[in-house]
Amino acid sequence: MRTARRSLGCCYYPEHWSPQIWQSDAEKMVETGLTWVRIGEFAWSRLEPQPGQYDWTWLDRAINILGTAGLQVVLGTPTATPPRWLVDQEPDMLAVDIEGRVRKFGARRHYCFSHIGYRQHCARIVTELAKRYGSNRYIAAWQTDNEYGCHDTTISYSAAARSAFQVWLRNRYPGPGNDGDITALNTAWGNVFWSMEYDNFEQIDLPNLTVTDANPSHHLEFRRFTSDQVVSFNKVQTDIIRRHSAGPIAHNYMGRITDFDHFDLGADLDIASWDSYPLGFLEDRITATEAHKEKFARQGDPDFQAFHHDLYRAVGRGRWWVMEQQPGPVNWAPYNPAPLPGMVRLWTWEAFAHGAEAVCYFRWRQVPFAQEQMHSGLLNPDSSEAPGLSEARRVAQEIAAAPTVVPGRAKTAIIFDYDADFSWSIQPHGQNMTYFDLVFESYRAARALGLSIDILPHNSGEFANYKLILVPGMIHMSDRLKAELAAGGATVIIGPRSASRTQDMQIPVPLPPNLPGLDATVTQVESLRPGMGIALEKGGHFQHYYEHLAGAAQVTERTTQGQPAMMCAGQLHYLAGWPDPQAFHRILATACAEVGIATYPLPEGLRLRETKTERFWFNYAAKTQTFDGKTFAPTAVLREPVPGTPSQ
């Protein structure tokens, strides 16, 4: 794992402002303590105002001003915003939604990842950009596109997607010559059911607008195909940039966007980054009670940011940034309050505590026109300072005194699997049941015990380095993964729903979970409406989901009716339901005690995170709290050396 320096930056749009203020903007960024500036990611209409006619003069000048002022530039490729003339040239490049409606020009991300003509235009503009700036000394990093998946744009049901899906399927079910093996596909999908059998690949449509649910196997393959399309779309750009530049390449991922496999995409990038909007997410992306939302309305959820920091640290194989950090009220959530004074600083330090190399604020100045005019910046539209600026300045001074991120390995890990998310969303088997919520609630329960957590992909190969590993809801688990977990030496808690389907989305026989050496079988599964919780003997309930277990393995948890709720063989455990917070807390605390992980039952809103050398406490609560002999004011960030290590 890599030791890196902490740094700050901002997102800037020179094309939105008069060139006369570029210089003073750059100087003020430097004076604030920022060292990075990201530009360019939406500027296609100004870079290529007419087909094939490029205008680099303004960008040359902007980069030069920013660079000579002392800033390092992250240059974005503009492919999230194809200009109007391009849409006129390639009208069928527009994405199509699940209802078959064509998405229109007039905002952004109006393209289908599968459209070959659009991909060629992207390759062309990225080539021109990379050729021109690939060796520019001020360009220190690149960003591809902007937020793949934002505004629900990963999945498209266009004609281009349909043809590409058929090609993808032929490769997946190879047959003689160029034609795939349609019988193999029919068998894998179980198409004998309802006479859904195909004679050839040209007959296969996309799984929307079917009379009732499409076949889940068909649907899952479509979701995998869609994910691969995002990955290959991105790779076109990274291949080109690498031909012209040695700079690291990032993409800015999002909060709770799970409809493409970020681990696959991240394999083609040098840095993972994500866009963190804690107050917007609390209102618009988190499953929580109204009381929780009210309590944290000006602070954000105490675990949501941390979860994504840990996820994207894994996606970036250790290298990650926050590319966009909320600096004040945003424009897009159902309610858009201002953060408590001190939260912008807290969010920034929390990212660093989880290993971020850089945090960039979105945006430098609030823009008075167009869709985001109600989105704050570090500056107001008249260039006066907005409240976020002084907090950024303060962090800049503070990191001068603690410049290094020294990553450490956590003792607890959670496996996160995008393919499992696809399967859950296709077959939730109950209202409001999502893979993300199950994983996030596991994470929350672990954090409430003061644990630092690593998130791992299924193929991390690092299982032996952990004491406790959670594998919630991983619908398909390969035999290899099962064997690795069984052999790794950690205590592993698998379930619910884990290993319940084959790779093709069929119920396996022998019945799930079929874990090595664990004589436990799920014989029946049920989803539960609110209020139907299954009480557990030692406290708490299963909610949402309950699986009936049979077998001779040791029972470690029972329902109050005496039915097995968790069974184990050695360190391998199968958990047969979705625990409520009380049950999660108890089950995890017991597991930690058994493997010797220290726990800290934290008061609500207080959170703890350790790097290799430092221990950080964050108070998300709007009130002063005391714990461990320390007092934490609202928005407090307390940094101390990990006991037994020298301070930085």
Active site residues per annotation: 147, 324
Does residue number 275 form part of the binding site for ligand GAL (CB under 6 A)?
yes
Q: How far is the CB of 326 from ligand GAL (least distance, A)?
A: 7
Residues 6+ apart with CB under 8 A from 391: 341, 342, 344, 345, 348
Please give the residues from 496 up to 535 whose contact with ligand GAL meets the rule CB under 6 A.
none
Separation CA 512–CA 485 (nearest Å): 16
| Interface with ligand GAL (CB under 6 A), residue from 362, 443, 466, 542 | 362
For 151, counting Cβ atoms within 10 Å of its Cβ (0-12 exposed, 13-18 middle, 19+ buried), the class is middle
| Segment contacting ligand GAL by CB under 6 A, of 146-154, 350-358, 424-432, 470-478 | 146-154
| Least distance from ligand GAL to the Cβ atom of residue 373, Å | 11
x/- letters, 452..491, toward ligand GAL (CB under 6 A): ----------------------------------------
H or E stretch including 622? none
> For the window 89-128, what string marks contact with ligand GAL as x by the rule CB under 6 A?
----------------------------------------
Question: Distance between CA atoms of 500 and 437, rounded to whole angstroms?
Answer: 18
Q: What is the DSSP letter of 288?
A: -
Among the listed residues 218, 317, 375, 458, the single contact to ligand GAL using CB under 6 A = 375
Stretch 306-325: interaction string toward ligand GAL, x if CB under 6 A: ------------------x-
Binding mask 150-189 for ligand GAL (x = CB under 6 A): x---------------------------------------
Q: Does 361 bind ligand GAL (CB under 6 A)?
A: no
Q: How far is the CB of 29 from ligand GAL (least distance, A)?
A: 18
Among 277, 352, 620, 632, binds ligand GAL (CB under 6 A): 277
Minimum CB separation of residue 330 from ligand GAL in Å reads: 5
Report helix, strand or coil for 282. helix
Question: For the residues of 426-453, what is the DSSP string, one character each?
Answer: H--SSTT--HHHHHHHHHHHHHHTT--E
Task: Report helix, strand and coil shares of the chain as percent, to nearest 5.
Answer: 35, 20, 45
Minimum CB distance to ligand GAL, residue 397 (Å): 26
DSSP assigned state of 345: H
Residue 246: partners with Cβ closer than 8 Å, 6 or more residues away: none
45/125 Cα distance (integer angstroms): 11
Nearest CB to ligand GAL, comparing residues 322 and 492: 322
Region of 144-152, 261-269, 410-418, 493-501 interacting with ligand GAL (CB under 6 A): 144-152
Using CA atoms, how far residue 549 sits from 433, 475, 496, 581, in Å, is 21, 17, 11, 22
Helical H runs in 523-607? 581-595
Write down the least CB distance from residue 343 to ligand GAL, Å. 16
Closest CA to 441 of 303, 312, 557: 303
Q: How far apart are CA 260 and CA 171, in angstroms?
A: 19
CA distance 251 to 149: 12
Which region among 145-153, 235-243, 598-606, 620-628 touches ligand GAL (by CB under 6 A)? Answer: 145-153
**Which lies closer to ligand GAL via its Cβ, residue 254 or residue 389?**
254
The encoded tokens of residue 468 equal 């406790």
Cis peptide before 334 (omega within 30 of 0): no
Q: Write down the least CB distance from residue 279 to ligand GAL, Å.
A: 10
Nearer to ligand GAL, 266 or 327 (CB): 327
Q: Could you tell me where the DSSP H helices lie in 430-553?
A: 435-448, 479-487
Binding letters toward ligand GAL, positions 329-358, x by CB under 6 A: -x-x--------------------------
Could you count the other beta carbons within 10 Å of the beta carbon of residue 190? 17
Question: Among residues 48, 90, 145, 147, which is the contact residue for ligand GAL, using CB under 6 A?
Answer: 147
Q: Please give the C-alpha separations between residue 299 and each of 289, 398, 635, in angstroms, as whole numbers.
A: 16, 21, 8
Q: What is the size of the binding site for ligand GAL (CB under 6 A)?
A: 11
Q: Please say which residue, 42 or 198, places its beta carbon nearer to ligand GAL.
A: 42
Q: Which is nearer to ligand GAL, 366 or 427 (CB)?
A: 366
Q: Please say which residue, 222 or 362, places its beta carbon nearer to ligand GAL.
A: 362
Residue 461 CA: distances (Å) to CA of 456, 464, 468: 9, 8, 15
How many angstroms separate the most distant Cα atoms in the chain? 77
Does residue 496 have a cis peptide bond before it, meaning omega lies within 30 degrees of 0?
yes
Q: Is the CB of 324 or the CB of 421 nearer to ligand GAL?
A: 324
3-state secondary structure of 308: helix
Report the nearest approach of ligand GAL to the CB of residue 380 (Å): 16
What's the CA gap between 478 and 468, in Å, rounded? 20
Burial of 428 (0-12, 13-18, 19+ CB in 10 A): middle
Q: How far is the CB of 424 from ligand GAL (least distance, A)?
A: 24
Minimum separation from the CB atom of position 280 to ligand GAL (A)? 7
Look at residues 81, 86, 8, 99 and name the one whose alpha carbon lies nearest to residue 348. Answer: 8
- Closer residue to ligand GAL, CB minimum distance, 285 or 394: 285
Binding segment (CB under 6 A) for ligand GAL, from list 143-151, 169-177, 314-322, 421-429? 143-151
**Whose Cβ is closer to ligand GAL: residue 38's or residue 501's?**
38
**Distance of closest approach, residue 277 Cβ to ligand GAL, in angstroms:** 5
| Positions 580 through 599 that interact with ligand GAL (CB under 6 A) | none
Residues that bind ligand GAL (CB under 6 A): 146-147, 150, 275, 277, 324, 330, 332, 362, 372, 375
